[in-house]
Amino acid sequence: MRTDKSRELYEALRALEARAMSARKKSKPPPSRREVARLTGVAGLDRRIGEWLHKDPAKAKVPGTSSSDQLIGVVRVWSCWAGADFDERYWRTLLDEAQPVRTAKPRTDPDGAGSDDPRGVFRSHAAWIGQYVLPARLRDREGELRELEDFCTAPDTDIVPGYAWWQAGPWAGKSALMAELVLRRRPAGVDFVSCFIGDHLGNNDRDSFLQTVNRQLSVLARQGTQPGSGRAEEEFPWLLTEAAEACRGRGRRLVLVVDGIDEDLGSGPDGLSIAALLPTKPPASMRVIVAGRPNPPVPVGVRSDHPLRGAGIVRLLAPSPFASDVSDLARRELHKLLSGGPVGRDVLALVTVSQGGLTAGDLAHLANTIPHEVDVLLRGVTGRSFLPGDGDRNHLPQRVAGGGSRTRVLGHTELHREALAWLGETAAIGYEARLHDWAEEYRAKGWPPETPDYLLYDYPRLLRRAGGVAFATERLASLVLDPRRQRALLGLNSIDAAVSEVEQAARLVERDAPDDLATRAALAVSRDVLTHSARGLPSEIPAGFARLGHWRRATDLALTAPYPEDKAVALAKVARALVGVHDERAAETAREAARWAARAREESAPSNGDESDAEYAVAGAAVALVATGQEREGRNLLNTLRSYAVLENGAFPCTTAAKAAAAARAWHPQLAEELLDQAEVLAEALRADRHAEPAALVTAWSAIAEAAGSPGSVRAAGIHARISDYARAAPAGPESVAVWATAALALVDVHPEEAVELAQQAAGTLRSALRTRADTTGSQGYPELMLTDVAYALVATGAVDEARRLVEAVPEGLATSWFGLDLLAGARAAISGVPRGAGTTRPEALARKALLLAEQRDPGEALRCLNEALEAFVTTRRGGVWEAKLVTLSAALAASGLPADGTRLARSLPTPAEQARALAAVSVALAGAGNLTLAQPLAHEAAGLTRENRNKGDSASRRIAPDWIVGHSKRAAAYALAHAGEGERALELAAELGKPEGSGRRRATVLVAAGLRGPDPVTAAKLVEAERERLMTRAPDQSDVRGRIAALGNLIAAIGDADHACEAGLRQAIDEAWSLQLTAKGQGVDWQDFLVVVVLEGKNQQQDALRALETRERNSRSVPPWELPTAGIALGYAVLGDHDAARRVSARHNVPSDRAEAYAAVAGYLAGAPENAHLTSWNEDTAFTEMLRTLAVSQSPPVVAGAVEQARQFVAEALADGGWHHALPALARLAPEALLQVRNIVFSHLHLEAGGTEPEIHSR
């Protein structure tokens, strides 16, 4: 036996034979293989069965495809004896897949395509057609096939059209004819790209069509990745042209076959049809064949000059009597069900309206009967009328798999239509209502563990398929937004299903109910909650599912990652795992990884610090492309890697090239050597760079040596010699510790004695450095950062105890970094035997174990480990960006009259710094509402949290947060104290932030002034005046005037209307600073200063201000958006009334979160929402934007007419980019119910209870 599928066929046949013989053991004549041969009429078949089912699996022969009819005959007899379902398509597909793997040879007419198909795209597509469309035998269609062949091969003339539209009614045999042409009667010199559309197949929309044809076109075009946009509908015409040109260049013709065009979901008046995608002028002599019923007519979205609108291309197909026979049999079976009593009618109706996914047990429950009766009914129709459903859940935990219960779906779209017609609309609605009531029953119970699989995995599909109907979309959104159901899916390790259905519901709501801001906000926060749960998902988990053959589950899990770069990395590992099991979808997955990597690049920015992550994603995708046989695409991507100066990792390009070489060696040794040559060139460039880290070159050489194959190869030996010479020449001192340790790891297998010497040298030097931190400060970093390298070197050379002693000797103050980060984790992992670079968490360890079990051919235990890893992962709480968003939610809840909820959420946050900021926001809201009794203790609680575990000079202080985060929390607490009337205490807290002239303390003092303008306007004015004087007396020589107006604008925002004289003085100061900037040589006007002037004076000189803003913005369009106050520019346009320009500028941001922030800022201005960014964000750009918004609301309020509608549109844009937290202040004004939905979802996942009017006060 030579493949996994051949073993599966062998075991399936053995099991079926055993069941058959057991069931017939008392019959006469007794059951035997000879009796099977007699019944099938094939002499000697019993001997062949013996060869196929030899007792030793290794000696068993795989039945050839020429024996398929004989095998099917055997299975039919055994199924009859065993009383089992006979699924001919299943057995034929399994037989095809079980054929021995053969080395690909150049062919002129290979299977599925006119070029080699190393990626398996056409083979997998052909298997799908064979399973669902292709008849066992096509009869009496020879004339039609010849006509189709002639159309495909006819020379180009004005007479021969580029299109042919074969039309016929239902059950005429259209799909069978097209499948026969594509798979069995391919004319010489023709390359087919095909798509068979069917409502019963669930692929009758544009997305499914494009997914199917684009991957086939990319093979013919020899393209691994599509051009920039990443949108399939935009890539389709480009790929079509490329594929057609490539075929013509090989002396062949491309023919596109689209069957079932009449079943397109998008063919309605408002739909986006498949027909509209088809080319008006087929490129490069290609031809297009479409097949379908005469009705519905050509969709309205198809151009008036499109060939589909011409009657000359229509060919009427006469019905096939054999297809009619099949349809008659199927109809009779369904009529039998329908007329066989209430149970049969109920079963047929439920299978019809449910659209698949119901088991016999589900049907029995809904039909109020016993499962056995349903089984008997289904057994009588399976094979003609019903197909197996697509609900394969064997990769899920046993509870979900349901013991292997099979689901059923009607086997033809026309059967589905006719069944609905027989039932009648009223009855169909009644049965659908039965499903809705069933779902409501389990919703009321809170989706307990015994919830049927259908309601968790298939019921949303029923609602999605009714998309476009407002109540169906509303019902779907309500379903997927139920946080208890979300948690039920997480509890079943089905985070991928939860994320997928939320994203699909969001697309439908955006289409059907774009103005429903509350639902859109709830969907956005749900996606954030769920993807946050998936953040950091060990990539070994999806790779493990791929290794076990569960491609869909693997890719779905990979795509739950919240960011494009994480999706790309996970998909690349899935692709490489698929290569290991010869899965034909590996290449497709690698291309998907490349697309996500390209998107990661597009959305990265220096301001976010994610450029390196994007490059690592690109590198992983490049290696995956090479590993899956896509040489050109992989090398092209490798060559786009940015220099190590951007990544601060000199070895990175070189190590990536080496990994690609290792991936290529199995299938293309020459390519591997070429890539290693490229890696060596990169290493030499690194050697010549005096700015590179000393150990980077050793890392690069080590990767090359490892990828070179045998350690004894000429290349590997030469590299090892270079490493040895380089390490011995390294200067004594801490800066060489990493060099020696890395060299020891590289040499341990080839020069063990030298490796031991180098490891000891590194350990000794590091041990000395640990005695005094001063010895290792400077450019080479801290000694604890070298510990991992040294620990792995010691362990590799057998000195495990010494590595352990070295770790124990590290002083406590050097063992922990900011936020409690354990700097010794890597060294401890080395001592524990964790592979270098592998994770140390329990989910990661379980996933590695699962991969090992899969390699040892223990799939059951491997699957158990993977599900255990998922369960351990989803129950782990992770902090980070998500917690900052919850600070914003705390503030919004309090500002909206829900201070108890805001306080409860604030206290649930994981760090004192986050708790302090959130509690400060709640206190400010209470003070604004006049409730000082509650505001004051919360402000004091926030202030106390800023001091928690913080003692100057104590290195353990870093376990909480660095000074800049603590400083931000102190400013927020000081602001809250000031709002609560505690001015003296607020100034004391601000004084803890440094000297009076320091920027941190001055910012805090201005915030205190802003807080005091209500309870103590006199003190507030004094503080503002003092800061104004400090600003105006700075740089008397006018050498530093940029930014002064922005600072003065911040003071106007702080004092507001509390002191008109103070405000007048500030405006005069701005006039003076403006004059200074205009006359200052070589400086020009600062962008932030310019925007403050626009906001303060724009309404008085609207047209002049608008022209000035347009000119300046136009001149800055070559500047990246992250280098400009882009959100502030958008606000400036909004203040001047140009909302289209505000939207256009906001959209310039390439980073979705930044784009959402800009949209939300404009929305907040138009809605008149209060700002609170100084409480919820420490980003200085955000602080300027919110200050500008405060100024705009107070100094240039929006025109009332149309402002609210415009605000809603900008909020919708922010939600589309995932910025629900940015949009909260505006949402609280525009759609207060949205805040309640967001709260309910977040509180449910955090296990918090909502409610209460007043927060509980904690004494401190």
Residue 1151 belongs to a domain: no
Whether 639 is in a domain gets the answer: no
Output the six-digit token pair for 165: 């539209």
Q: What is 20-37 written as a DSSP string? A: HHHHTTTSSSPP-HHHHH
Q: Is residue 127 part of a domain?
A: yes
Number of domains in the chain: 5
C-alpha to C-alpha distance for 330 and 324, rounded to whole angstroms? 10
What average pLDDT does range 894-919 have in this prediction? 91
Q: What Å distances lie between residue 1019 and 185, 927, 970, 1063, 1187, CA to CA?
A: 91, 18, 20, 14, 21
Strand order in the sheet with 253-259: 190-196, 253-259, 287-292, 163-167, 314-316
- pLDDT of 224 reads 47
* Distance, CA of 1027 to CA of 875 (rounded, Å): 50
Element containing residue 196 per DSSP (H, E): strand 190-196
**Could you tell me if 380 and 335 lie in one domain?**
yes
> Torsions phi, psi of 182, nearest 5?
-70, -40
- If asked whether residues 87 and 231 sit together in one domain, one would say no
pLDDT band at 161 (very low <50, low <70, confident <90, very high): confident
Q: Indicate if 354 and 396 belong to the same structural domain.
A: yes
Tens of pLDDT, residues 344-362: 888 888 888 887 788 888 9
- Kindly state the average pLDDT of the residues 1173-1195: 79
> For residues 1006 and 987, is the Cβ–Cβ distance under 8 A?
no
Cα–Cα distance list, 601 to 112, 240, 598, 617, 1216 (Å):
35, 26, 5, 9, 20
Residue ending a domain, among 264, 293, 319, is: 319
Where in the sequence is the domain holding 55, given as residue range(s)? 4-97
Write the DSSP assignment of 795-834 as a string of letters: HHTT-HHHHHHHHHTS-HHHHB-GGG-BTTHHHHHHHTTP
The reply to whether 936 falls in a domain is yes
From 1015, 1047, 1068, the end of a domain falls on 1015
CA of residue 468 relative to chain centroid, distance: 25
Query: Where does residue 253 rank: exposed (0-12), middle (13-18), buried (19+ CB within 10 A)?
Result: buried
At 989, which CATH number? 1.25.40.10
One domain for residues 913 and 953: yes
Which tokens go with 13? Answer: 């046949």
Please answer whether residues 244 and 254 qualify as being in contact, where contact means their C-beta atoms are separated by less than 8 angstroms: yes
Query: Does residue 822 surpass a pLDDT of 70?
Result: no
Is the pLDDT reported for residue 955 higher than 50? no
Q: Chain-wide mean pLDDT for the chain? A: 83
CA 950 – CA 960 distance, rounded (Å): 8
Summarize pLDDT for 1104-1134 with one digit per residue, the tens. Answer: 999 999 999 999 988 888 889 999 999 999 9
Q: Is residue 388 part of a domain?
A: yes
Q: What angle do CA 438, 442, 445 make, to 5 degrees?
A: 145
Position 1236 confidence tier, pLDDT thresholds 50, 70, 90: very high
- 271-280 burial string, b = 16+ CB within 10 Å, else e? bbbbbbbbbe
User: In the predicted model, is pLDDT for residue 115 greater than 90?
Assistant: no
Which tokens go with 145? 């096939």
Which of 293, 319, 345 is where one domain is finished?
Answer: 319
In a domain, 1093, yes or no: no
**Phi (first) and psi of residue 254, to 5 degrees:** -90, 135
Does residue 751 have a pLDDT over 90?
A: yes
Chain segment 998-1045, per-residue pLDDT in tens? 888 898 999 999 999 999 999 999 999 999 998 888 655 555 677 889
Q: What radius of gyration, in Å, describes the C-alpha atoms of the chain?
A: 35
Q: Tell me what the mean pLDDT of segment 493-518 comes to.
A: 89
142 C-beta neighbours (distance < 10 Å), count = 10
Which pLDDT band holds residue 400 (cuts at 50, 70, 90)?
very low
Q: Is the pLDDT of residue 484 over 90?
A: yes
pLDDT tops 70 at residue 658: yes
Crossing angle of the two packed helices 425-444 and 342-354, in degrees rounded to 10: 80
Whole-angstrom Cα distance, residue 118 to residue 86?
A: 33
258 shares a domain with 295: yes
Mean pLDDT over 495-514 rounds to: 89
**H or E element at residue 480:** helix 470-480
Question: Which tokens is 156 given?
Answer: 């180009």
Percent of the chain past pLDDT 70, that is, above it, reads: 84
Structure tokens at 815: 């063992």
Q: At what angle are helices 564-580 and 586-602 packed, to 10 degrees?
A: 160
405 pLDDT tier (thresholds 50, 70, 90): low
Measured distance CA(560)–CA(571) in Å, rounded: 11
1247 conformational bin, left if phi > 0, alpha if psi -120 to 50, beta if neither: left
Same structural domain for residues 207 and 78?
Answer: no
- Any domain includes 483: yes
Contact, 1258 vs 905, CB < 8 A?
Answer: no
Are the C-beta atoms of 949 and 896 separated by less than 8 Å? Answer: no
- Give yes or no for residue 555 having a pLDDT over 80: yes
Most confident of 221-225, 315-319, 405-409, 789-793: 789-793
Q: Do 603 and 1151 form a contact (C-beta atoms < 8 A)?
A: yes
Tell me the C-alpha distance between 153 and 215, whole Å.
24
**Based on the domain organization, do 459 and 350 belong to the same domain?**
yes
Same domain flag for 488 and 379 = yes
> Are 313 and 267 in the same domain?
yes
Do 311 and 348 share a domain, yes or no? no
pLDDT for 1034: 67
For residue 838, pLDDT over 90 is answered with no
How long, in residues, is the chain? 1260
Question: For position 190, which CATH number holds?
Answer: 3.40.50.300
Is 370 or 609 the better-scoring residue by pLDDT? 370
Alpha carbons 560 and 279: distance in angstroms, whole number:
35
1207 to 507, 545, 897, 1234: CA distances (angstroms): 21, 45, 22, 15
Rounded to a whole number, what is the distance in angstroms from the first to the last CA of the chain?
73
310 plus 439 within the same structural domain = no
* Assigned domain for 191 exists: yes
How many CB atoms lie under 10 A from the CB of residue 251? 9
CA angle 474/475/480 to nearest 5° reads 100
Neighbours of 301 (CB within 10 A): 17
pLDDT at 19: 81
- In a shared domain, residues 385 and 310: no
